[in-house]
Amino acid sequence: MSKETLQKAVELAGGQTRLAAGVRARMPAGSKVSQVHVWGWLNDLKSACPPAEYVLAICGVIEWKITPHELRPDLYPHPSDGLPKVSPATTATPPPEKEAA
């Protein structure tokens, strides 16, 4: 993961505050993720990635336009790791509607 990937996630979310609010909404009650946390993830010199517990929430906020693999390849080594499973029923083409007689 690079700071650039996380910055892209911030941009896709509409800014640090919106990303933080989206992450907070996807975390258990009582989560205190704020814009300051996102700023810290972007500017921490010791770490180049968001904490593991926030990766899936970040991806969800931006509708999976960045994958967990792109954010944290150390945790999600394969490109499809962490992506939501899509059931065939939700992707199947609906049957054509019958014409009224």
Give mean pLDDT, residues 2-31: 94
Confidence (pLDDT) at 98: 61
Confidence (pLDDT) at 30: 83
By C-alpha distance, which of 62, 84, 54, 59 is closest to 70? 59
pLDDT tens digit sequence for 74-90: 999 999 999 998 755 54
Domains of the chain: which residue ranges?
Answer: 3-87
By C-alpha distance, which of 60, 61, 44, 31 is closest to 1? 44
Give the CATH superfamily of 3-87.
lambda repressor-like DNA-binding domains (1.10.260.40)
Portion of the chain with pLDDT greater than 70, in percent: 83
Instruction: Determine the Cα–Cα distance for residues 20 and 17; give it in Å rounded to an integer.
Output: 5
Token pair belonging to 9? 């996630």
